[in-house]
């Protein structure tokens, strides 16, 4: 009886072992699958690498070049549209020129055009009230060059350096005898024998030609403001 029972147990164990292998072959090893899933879950994700410094520098340079390119295109579009800046200081900065005394005088001459058609006012020295001739000169040099000139025409002549008419450059001063005084009127020379001035009561700031008979016969001297 005991021997029969032992045989039965051995047979049952063998049967179960065979069946388990059959299930594993038919549906796969569930324990193996579980271990594979667990291994995948435990596998760390690759660390995110930082871009090399060289790549960052190249990207930065590319962005900078794009900005420069867009800026240049904008400037070109403004020029084509006729809307480019006429501010003399902005022009000097854009072209990379060095600010010199000659540049400053040119800026003064250019700025004088902004005052055209403002009213003449005796004793006037600002945009709100208008200007007389010496007030206009004084305002331009103070605004553009930070140079404080005397208020009266004769005093401005005395405070500046005499030059020949042939040496006139934009921004220099031109003086005339319009009231029986050697230095009774002054204007800003703007080139090509032209000057800008505030003429008289009832008139407006305007451009005049120095070669016109009236001004040519009353011209009394050219002066240069020392800015150094």
Contact 125, 107 (CB under 8 A): no
Give residues with Cβ within 8 angstroms of 163, minimum separation 6.
172, 222, 223, 224
State the distance between the two ends of the chain, measured CA to CA, in whole angstroms.
132
Residue 185 annotated to the active site = yes
Q: Is 196 exposed, middle or buried (0-12, 13-18, 19+ CB in 10 A)?
A: buried
- Any catalytic annotation for residue 78? no
Do residues 174 and 134 touch, judged by C-beta distance below 8 A? no
Residue of 19, 78, 94, 133 marked catalytic:
133
21, 78, 94, 197: the catalytic one is: 197
- The DSSP secondary-structure symbol of 164 reads -
Residue 184 CB partners (closer than 8 Å, separation 6+): 153, 154, 176, 177, 178
Active site residue 133: yes
Nearest to 140 by CA among 105, 182, 179, 164: 105
* Cβ atoms of 31 and 23 closer than 8 Å: no
Contacts within 8 Å (CB) and 24+ apart, 159-164: 160/223, 160/224, 160/225, 160/226, 161/223, 161/224, 161/225, 161/226, 162/221, 162/222, 162/223, 162/224, 163/222, 163/223, 163/224, 164/222
Q: Which residues are catalytic?
A: 133, 185, 197
């Amino acid at each position: 009886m005991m021997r029969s029972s032992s045989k039965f147990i051995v047979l049952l164990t063998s049967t179960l072992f065979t069946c388990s292998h059959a299930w594993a072959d038919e549906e796969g090893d569930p324990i193996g699958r579980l271990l594979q899933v667990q291994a995948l879950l435990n596998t760390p994700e690759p660390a995110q690498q930082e871009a090399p410094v060289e790549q960052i520098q190249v990207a930065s340079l590319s962005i900078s070049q794009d900005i420069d390119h867009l800026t240049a295109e904008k400037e070109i579009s403004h020029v084509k549209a006729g809307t480019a800046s006429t501010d003399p200081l902005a022009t000097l900065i854009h072209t990379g020129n060095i600010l010199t005394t000659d540049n400053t005088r040119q800026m003064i001459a250019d700025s004088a055009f902004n005052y055209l058609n403002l009213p003449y006012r005796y004793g006037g020295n600002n945009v709100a009230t208008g200007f007389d001739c010496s007030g206009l000169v004084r305002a331009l040099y103070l605004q553009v060059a930070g140079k404080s000139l005397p208020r009266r025409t004769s005093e401005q002549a005395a405070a500046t350096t005499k030059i020949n008419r042939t040496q006139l450059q934009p921004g220099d001063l031109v003086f005339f005898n319009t009231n029986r005084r050697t230095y009774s009127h002054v204007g800003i020379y703007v080139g090509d024998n032209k000057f800008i001035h505030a003429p008289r009561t009832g008139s407006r700031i305007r451009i005049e030609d120095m070669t016109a008979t009236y001004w040519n016969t009353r011209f009394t001297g050219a002066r240069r403001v020392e800015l150094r």
